[in-house]
Amino acid sequence: MTYEPDYSTMPLNTVEFPLPVLRRREDPIDAIHKIADDIGARPVTSIAEAQTAAYVASRLRRAGLQVWTDPFRTHALAGSGGLMVALLASASIGVWTYERLYALAIAATTSVVAMLLTNTLSRHFRRATSESQNVVATHAPIGPATRRVVLLVPLDTHQPRDPIGSREAQVAASVALLTMMSLEYIAPLPLPPEVRTVLLLIPVVYLLLAASAELWVRSQPFSSGAVSYAGSIAAMLTAVDDLGRLNNTELWAVGLGGGTTGAGLANLVKKYPFDSQATFFIGLEGLGRGTLSYVLHDVNERTRSADDILVDVFTEATRGVRAEPRIANFIPIVRPLTQAKRRAISIACLDHNGRVPLQGSTKDTSEAITPAIVEQSARLLTNAIRVLDSHST
């Protein structure tokens, strides 16, 4: 698509939302029960994730969309590499008393291993051996397509959270250990020997605690992922049912395999080189509990990352829907798109801390869902897409 709209001529305050067509549709809570209760926990590359993909594909096909599946290979769940880092750090301290140069070499190895275990680097050094899939569905508009809206929702659920530290924190601790050992070897700090020893032990103790917590977390069961992301899938399916065909906007509804790891989104944008100006991405985070919101940016970003046009569209789309602009205290699934200067925004239900309630928790069950919020989420989505479509001619 090469069309570049002139946004300056598009008033965003004159849209009349058409009344929804009165017809039989599936209750979104049925989709939530199917995904969260019948299928249950959905780790990336698991059979449950594939079952969810099959269900979403059948629902989208039933809604009249053209549907296909894009399989791809990716990494399975993260392992317990933190234990290796902690053992190496402990070994460096044990050797330090006898041979400091060898201890420095072990500490340097510890830092390298910790860096290689981070998500960013591990993708380059680990072979993708497991299979996942994206479910892609499209609906052509009635007239010429001048814009494209791509709805994005993960099919999998989050791995249980580490309560102590991330891979990045383990890297920081191992680098701190190497730095303090180097200083102690080259130019000892003017501190009592006992104090210097304690300083060396602090990062090692942290790494041991982090490894223990990681092992404990890996032994915990996955949540059934009702809010994240059965509620989001249900909202997307309901919105697609309600929208029907648009005038000049091509609709894409995408269930992302490996959505929580970013693998599905990376595969999608690699396979389909969407026009950067005429394509609008809407990420659906956890929906079904909390305050319905559209995310301006997350706490790690100083300025707004959500596309300005989409922010205006969602501001108008809140007519008749309780939703508000918020800053998220997590990394939205569309972050790679906003970093690449794509037109993108996320909608999510957030708690008072700016997080998705119960994400990754075993308490994230279908009983935690408020059906009215899922309906409101779907209505916000349909309103926003209709606003965008009304300005696409």
pLDDT in tens, 356-393: 999 888 899 999 999 999 999 999 999 999 999 998 65
Tens digit of each residue's pLDDT (9 = 90 or more) over 320-351: 899 999 999 999 999 999 999 999 999 999 99
Q: Is the pLDDT of residue 17 over 60?
A: no
User: Which conformational region is residue 358 in: left (phi greater than 0), alpha (psi within -120 to 50 degrees), or beta?
Assistant: left
Q: How many domains does the chain have?
A: 2
Tens digit of each residue's pLDDT (9 = 90 or more) over 271-307: 998 999 999 999 999 999 999 999 999 988 888 899 9
Same-domain pairing of 282 and 361 = yes
Residue 361 lies in a domain: yes
Section 61-84 average pLDDT: 85
Same-domain pairing of 147 and 178 = no
Section 160-173 average pLDDT: 77
Same-domain pairing of 58 and 113 = no
For residue 359, CA distances in Å to 240, 289, 293, 370, 373 come to 25, 11, 16, 15, 16
Residue 101 lies in a domain: yes
User: What CATH number does residue 273 fall under?
Assistant: 3.40.630.10
* Residue written as token pair 């959905």: 42
Same-domain pairing of 30 and 115 = no
Predicted confidence at residue 143, as pLDDT, reads 94
Predicted confidence at residue 60, as pLDDT, reads 96
Predicted confidence at residue 301, as pLDDT, reads 85
Instruction: Provide the whole-model pTM.
Output: 0.81
Same-domain pairing of 134 and 213 = no
Q: What whole-number percentage of the chain has pLDDT above 70?
A: 88
Band (pLDDT 50/70/90 cuts) for residue 188 is confident
For residue 33, CA distances in Å to 23, 228, 368, 377 come to 22, 13, 12, 17
Same-domain pairing of 291 and 187 = no
Query: If you ran DSSP here, which 8-state letter would residue 33 be given?
Result: I
Predicted confidence at residue 20, as pLDDT, reads 44
Q: Which of 174, 200, 218 is the last residue of a domain?
A: 218
Tens digit of each residue's pLDDT (9 = 90 or more) over 121-131: 555 445 557 89
Q: Is 150 exposed, middle or buried (0-12, 13-18, 19+ CB in 10 A)?
A: buried
Same-domain pairing of 170 and 285 = no
Residue 363 lies in a domain: yes
Predicted confidence at residue 191, as pLDDT, reads 84
Same-domain pairing of 14 and 153 = yes
pLDDT greater at residue 70 or residue 113: 70
Predicted confidence at residue 249, as pLDDT, reads 96
* Amino acid (1-letter code) at residue 198: V
Tell me the two tokens of residue 201: 């032990």
Predicted confidence at residue 393, as pLDDT, reads 53
Tell me the two tokens of residue 385: 């897409």
Residue 2 lies in a domain: no
Predicted confidence at residue 80, as pLDDT, reads 61
Same-domain pairing of 175 and 249 = no
Q: Which of 218, 239, 263 is the last residue of a domain?
A: 218
- Burial readout 222-256 (b: 16 or more C-beta within 10 A, e: otherwise): bbbbbbbbbbbbbbbbbbbbbbbebebbbbbbbbb
Residue 354 lies in a domain: yes
Same-domain pairing of 198 and 261 = no
Residues spanned by the domain of 66? 7-76+129-160+221-390
Predicted confidence at residue 94, as pLDDT, reads 92
Cα(142)–Cα(66) distance, integer angstroms: 15
Section 30-39 average pLDDT: 96
Band (pLDDT 50/70/90 cuts) for residue 162 is low
Residue 1 lies in a domain: no
Tell me the two tokens of residue 160: 């249980």
Predicted confidence at residue 13, as pLDDT, reads 37
Average pLDDT for the chain: 87
Same-domain pairing of 271 and 151 = yes
Q: Is the pLDDT of residue 84 over 70?
A: yes
Band (pLDDT 50/70/90 cuts) for residue 10 is very low
